Structure 1
């Protein structure tokens, strides 16, 4: 407790500013102040029967969690799954993926104060928990340890940059790592960095995102988008971040032939209108995906202003540029593009997905560009070479298929928690697989 005291005091001091930031962000995205009580562990929703808790911060983690959540529901059929988030976009993604499933509920995770963590655990009484990727909250994990709630860090990734940041507080980080009952790391390099920070039970399970597959509805939507585009080649700029759109738009307008169409999909929905204004300010004709109208021949950009349709966008495109990699933001997931056989171009900044990006380039599923203009030029080169496009498509599908199986390995580790975890305190349940 003494080790966490300075951290807790910092949280208490920061809380007014955290709330002000929440209100500020709600100006552009009102979802940030909906369900505000949940951020202080005040919940109206209750799960029927025993609960498995899965924490998925935002969009990327939620989409990665999809095959794992479905596997959990199958492996523990008497349980419900409560998915907690930190962002409204993550929550909406969860609703889009599981909205009709009565056994999947969603809520915000409370801020990391011990009293709020205790209230969260008392309300949902989870049998065990799964935290996706890198989200570690010291007070929450300490509360789980006190209440004998086993927790797994699944699909764990830790870049060198993040590892250096955690290493600045070695005692707190070490205790937090030791509070995890088991860790499933994406790669051996991730596992090594986690162990250096004090993690004990670490296994390399692979990347669960390879197990995400497109639905029939996504593929049908892709067909509709292609019909709207007609015979025009489609260059997708996927999950772009602030500052990248201007670079990509300018390069595309300058380099691409008039018949080529740029399908531009910002990562954050609150920026859809902002990006539309950015395009209009350049005098470039834009249409929106949400308008569901035929795409005019003089339209240069189709704005992908929708949530939960990234698989459809990838499947509809002839080549995809991956956002987050054109400025030093770490890149975004390219696995979905590979899974549907869409050639990929990434920028120089892929440190959040380094091994996946490097292997995709090495196997021929992706090409790396030096900047946004070089990325557009590389995408146009792929468009102009039918043989190259076919080879990259085949390489991408093979790359995605080769790395599947992480979900199964994660479930196996969770089954092991039945015998490895301490006995539950009265009122809290231990996992019981079927």
Structure 2
């Protein structure tokens, strides 16, 4: 019943969906060259042999499954990775191995969904986190496709919302043969909402290799910075750059030559951020303009895409954005993987277990506000031995957590073997 109601509603909403997609195209949120993929029209031929379809909503999710994609390719399985954003398509496009391809996820209308599945005919579907689309999941189950939820995550807010739609979420989660949750709390919420075989094996984000950096560019910036004290505010959101700027102003007299690096979550905000910082009397060098930090530069603004790995390597101390002025938090595992001491604000709701583990391991510190941030940074910058110990703890913790992939592959083994057998030839 609930399935039919949803299909009818999305069918009748066709004209409105088209208008919405056109609006997104005008705003640059859809890829005009590959827009047909959003309507279920394939942009590539189907890969030969057994095919695993992995859906990862956006950048973080898609990067977290890349190690799993590598494992599947070693077994000889083809991989179709779908995402829903232009940014994620750019990020994973050059990182997929041969035999793995990217497509945009079709919009969740039945004609688009059936066209997509008719063309790609996956043998196994791996769905990440909580980006649930009923038509896609119902149609995959109707075709008897094995379904596995990996990286399953249900935040407390999402849990409260889904409890108002118990039949819909119950039907979707009940269609998964296996649900692999990120944390025990996620596993418990998945069970309450209707998940069947629910297990917690860990977080695949722990298996992601260190973010890359161009060696020549890294060497150039290291030479330009020299022995100046330096720290980084990563993936910042509106309101946080002002906190970072004030922290720099307080610390600069105590640490001559201090250089603050800021990498906004959305690089398009770069010019606006630069204007605000300049209005505060701070000298800014913009990466997007090809500017290099010089002796008098206070802030180096990394307003470019895909270069966080470069900036993590430049700074031994990293503040995670989206944790002070706004809530949710950004992934603290990435800087820890590169041996950075990690600071974050009190609003890291997206990573509660991870942040607790990092604090317990001596890899991270929580700061309540801008004043606490200033004090924490001052303590680390003034005590090189303490900073080195915290960086070593972060690297050791990240390395120890990177064994999740073996457990996930073992859990998937029966379904992978079945997919391979369906294409075996005598």
Q: Do both proteins adopt the same fold according to a TM-score greater than 0.5, normalized to the shorter chain? A: yes
Matches within 5 A, 1:288-303: 288-303=286-301
Verify the 8 A CA contact 1:229 1:294 in the aligned structure 2.
no
Aligned residues: 421
- For 1:332, the equivalent position in structure 2 comes to 330
Between the aligned partners of 2:92 and 2:247, the Cα distance in structure 1 is 35
- For 2:119, the equivalent position in structure 1 comes to 123
> Does residue 269 in structure 1 map to residue 259 in structure 2?
no
Shift of 1:58: 1.2
Query: TM-score scaled by structure 1?
Result: 0.89
- For 1:225, the equivalent position in structure 2 comes to 221
| Corresponding residue SS for 1:298 | coil
Verify the 8 A CA contact 1:321 1:379 in the aligned structure 2.
no
- For 1:66, the equivalent position in structure 2 comes to 66
Moved more, 273-282 or 181-190: 273-282
Between the aligned partners of 2:215 and 2:149, the Cα distance in structure 1 is 32
- For 1:3, the equivalent position in structure 2 comes to 2
Between the aligned partners of 1:52 and 1:275, the Cα distance in structure 2 is 42
- For 1:308, the equivalent position in structure 2 comes to 306
| Residues 135-188 of structure 1 deviation map (CA, whole Å, 9 limit, x = unaligned) | 111211111111122122112222222211221111110111011121211221
Q: CA 1:143 to 1:155, structure 2 compared with 1: closer, same or farther past 3 Å?
A: same
| Corresponding residue SS for 1:331 | coil
Shift of 1:44: 2.3
Matches within 5 A, 1:342-353: 342-353=340-351
Q: CA 1:203 to 1:125, structure 2 compared with 1: closer, same or farther past 3 Å?
A: same
Q: CA 1:395 to 1:192, structure 2 compared with 1: closer, same or farther past 3 Å?
A: same
Verify the 8 A CA contact 1:184 1:203 in the aligned structure 2.
yes
Note the aligned Cα RMSD (angstroms): 2.6
> Does residue 56 in structure 1 map to residue 52 in structure 2?
no
- For 1:284, the equivalent position in structure 2 comes to 282
Shift of 1:385: 1.5
| Corresponding residue SS for 1:54 | strand
Moved more, 329-338 or 46-55: 46-55
Verify the 8 A CA contact 2:224 2:294 in the aligned structure 1.
no
Shift of 1:18: 5.3
| Residues 293-326 of structure 1 deviation map (CA, whole Å, 9 limit, x = unaligned) | 5421111111212322222221221200001111
Verify the 8 A CA contact 1:29 1:270 in the aligned structure 2.
no
Stretches of structure 2 lacking an aligned partner (at least 5 in a row): none
Matches within 5 A, 1:134-149: 134-149=130-145
> Does residue 179 in structure 1 map to residue 161 in structure 2?
no
| Corresponding residue SS for 1:155 | strand
| Residues 261-289 of structure 1 deviation map (CA, whole Å, 9 limit, x = unaligned) | 12111122333333334334434222123
| Corresponding residue SS for 2:402 | coil
Between the aligned partners of 2:24 and 2:242, the Cα distance in structure 1 is 22
Shift of 1:225: 2.9
Q: CA 1:219 to 1:208, structure 2 compared with 1: closer, same or farther past 3 Å?
A: farther
| Residues 12-40 of structure 1 deviation map (CA, whole Å, 9 limit, x = unaligned) | 56665555555555555365544222111
Moved more, 200-209 or 39-48: 39-48
> Does residue 241 in structure 1 map to residue 237 in structure 2?
yes
Q: CA 1:396 to 1:34, structure 2 compared with 1: closer, same or farther past 3 Å?
A: same
Verify the 8 A CA contact 1:129 1:151 in the aligned structure 2.
yes
Between the aligned partners of 1:218 and 1:313, the Cα distance in structure 2 is 11
Verify the 8 A CA contact 2:316 2:391 in the aligned structure 1.
no
| Residues 322-379 of structure 1 deviation map (CA, whole Å, 9 limit, x = unaligned) | 0111134210110111111100101011111110011111211000011244324322
Between the aligned partners of 1:409 and 1:38, the Cα distance in structure 2 is 33
Shift of 1:134: 1.9
- For 1:44, the equivalent position in structure 2 comes to 43
Moved more, 123-132 or 376-385: 376-385
Could you list the structure 1 runs, at least 4 aligned residues long, displaced by more than 6 angstroms after superposition.
none
Between the aligned partners of 1:217 and 1:117, the Cα distance in structure 2 is 38
| Corresponding residue SS for 1:248 | helix
Shift of 1:80: 2.6
Q: CA 1:168 to 1:227, structure 2 compared with 1: closer, same or farther past 3 Å?
A: farther
Between the aligned partners of 1:256 and 1:14, the Cα distance in structure 2 is 56
Verify the 8 A CA contact 1:22 1:32 in the aligned structure 2.
no
Shift of 1:217: 4.7
Query: TM-score scaled by structure 2?
Result: 0.90
Verify the 8 A CA contact 1:22 1:33 in the aligned structure 2.
no
Verify the 8 A CA contact 1:248 1:373 in the aligned structure 2.
no
Which structure's relative contact order is higher, taking Cα pairs within 8 Å and 6+ residues apart?
A: 1
Q: CA 1:46 to 1:366, structure 2 compared with 1: closer, same or farther past 3 Å?
A: same
Shift of 1:220: 6.2
| Corresponding residue SS for 2:257 | coil
Selected match of 1:368 from 363, 366, 369: 366
Verify the 8 A CA contact 1:418 1:431 in the aligned structure 2.
no
Q: CA 1:162 to 1:301, structure 2 compared with 1: closer, same or farther past 3 Å?
A: same
| Corresponding residue SS for 1:84 | strand
